[in-house]
Amino acid sequence: MSRKQERSVAGGLALVPAAFLALVAAGAFLPLAVLALPDAGAEIGDALGDPVIWRALRFTLLQAALSTALSLAFAVPVATAFYELRRFPGSGALLRLFVLPLALPQIVAVLAIVGLYGEQGMFSRLAESAGLGFPSIYGLTGILIAHVFFNMPLAVRVVLGALGSMPAEYDRLAHQLGMDFVSRFRFVVWPFMRPALMSAASLIFMLCVTSFTVVLTLGGGPRATTLEVAIYQALTFDFDIARAVLLAVIQVAVTALAFILLTRAGGEVSAGLTLGGLRSFPMRRSLPLRVASFAVILIGALFVLAPFLVIIWRGVAADLPGLAGQASVRAAVTTSLVLAALASLLAVTMSLMLATGIAKAAAARRFSGAPGKSERLLGQTSSLILVVPPVVIAAGWFIVIRRFGDVYAAAPLMVVIVNAAMAIPFAMRLLLPAAMSASERYDRLCRQLGLAGFARLRLVTWPLLRRVMWLALAFSLALSLGDLGVIAIFGSQDVQTLPYLILQRMGSYRTQDAAGLALILCVMTMVLMTIADRGGRLSDKNRENG
């Protein structure tokens, strides 16, 4: 197969995931313009003057901005402390700990945070014993704590990935010049940290703008409601389609504007899943600096670890055998596993096709020079799906499907499709660099040997990409298992996932059951991620031995 034919085939394959994402996102809105808007024009006009909508918009932007600022403010000292200490006993375990919140279902983390900071939580009791008041966990305070728990470790990982790419000579030169900590941070660390922080800020702000589960469970009333929660309430409680359409349009406009502004400011919204660490340098730091760095790392680790300990403690206290014997729990576990597996497989397949197309486009210009328009467009395709949040997509398709058939019969299909689409940007973050490297190193050799199609996939692509494919599969599984946005719209008594069942038990004040189910969901997520990670390591080991 000639180079031109290879590029044509790869470009055709890349169009499949691009069309899939476009259909999932735009397909929810184009029919709305035809079906919903003409019948609801007057109602939408009245809704525009509703102060509740504008209050939800203001709170959406406020909590996202504060969550982003706090996450970065805490991430900078923790990442700097890791940089100063480099590798120390237990550093690998701590770095792996900072990956766990990325995989923890949000509904599980919310239960743990309530157990820590709620009225009967450990921190609120300590504050009361010290004669201090602790603000209610329900409202802006709880939302900020939950968002910092999820996003601070994410920002630390992004910054560490940037610092890991720093040339060794920079640090050696700073040591030879006798720079103190402030000078070293200002002239050596900060230039590498700043672009990474902008990338982290872009991703975190987008995630907080589209936050649903955290705000739904910790919002605490109309004054702490975001646009996504308002969409959910308009559909499930009021069944006000006109309001849902208007809120969805405002949500997409806000998210799109944030995406454009942050991208132009230098951020990369698809950043965030780098797994690299820091190289070790044989340079001693002063004792006070090492003690301070270790203290900062310890505080950050305790902040991340505490919710996991609460999940275990409260979950074990629940009646786990009794929960396991309930038919509804067994059905929810089975449904969650099946739908998450299908969504993750679809996400990784689509991501691999898109990454291969981008790599081929880069190979066409021999990986030099500026990317062409088609390559830039393909590169932004996966990130653009983040502009349309899953609740908005689910709400749009809910209204469309309702006009033609049974909404709840389509629930499994919609959960798989939307969860797969939302996992693609994160899978792409892992797959694209590996696909680019493989294409750059082996394209010519494969052409000379006549390797193409399935033979190239089996002999070249799979051995090179299987490690990151396992990791992409693990993250996609974790995201799909913990999703509540889509199932909250389409869920029913016949189709329930574990997050949906946990939300029901919380709503009926069966907190012990909810804690037990949260532990089951947490264990499922961690076991599946461990299996995927070990599977990738085993594949690499077998390849080396073979």
pTM attached to this predicted model: 0.77
CATH value of 40-317 in 3.40.50.720, 1.10.3720.10, 2.30.30.90, 2.30.290.10: 1.10.3720.10
Where residue 226 falls (left for φ over 0; alpha for ψ -120 to 50; beta otherwise) is beta
Mean pLDDT by 10 residues, the chain (546 residues): 51 77 78 54 59 84 92 90 75 75 79 81 76 78 91 84 70 72 77 80 83 82 80 76 76 77 57 46 63 85 88 85 88 90 92 82 61 65 74 80 82 90 83 76 69 68 76 82 81 82 82 86 78 56 48
| pLDDT score, position 453 | 63
| pLDDT score, position 369 | 56
**Tell me, which fold does domain 1-35+328-546 have in CATH?**
MetI-like fold (1.10.3720)
Instruction: Tell me the domain boundaries of the chain.
Output: 1-35+328-546, 40-317
Our CA angle for 36, 38, 44, nearest 5°, is: 75
Specify whether the CB–CB gap between 515 and 314 falls below 8 A. Answer: yes
* C-alpha span between 151 and 164 (Å, rounded): 20
pLDDT (tens digit per residue) in 62-92: 999 999 999 999 998 998 888 777 767 777 7
| pLDDT score, position 512 | 84
Domains 1-35+328-546 and 40-317 share a fold: yes
Specify whether the CB–CB gap between 502 and 111 falls below 8 A. Answer: yes
Helix ranges (DSSP H) in 365-410:
373-384, 390-404
| pLDDT score, position 374 | 64
Tokens of 53: 């909508």
| pLDDT score, position 3 | 52
| Burial zone of 312 (CB within 10 Å; 0-12 exposed, 13-18 middle, 19+ buried) | middle
| pLDDT score, position 34 | 57
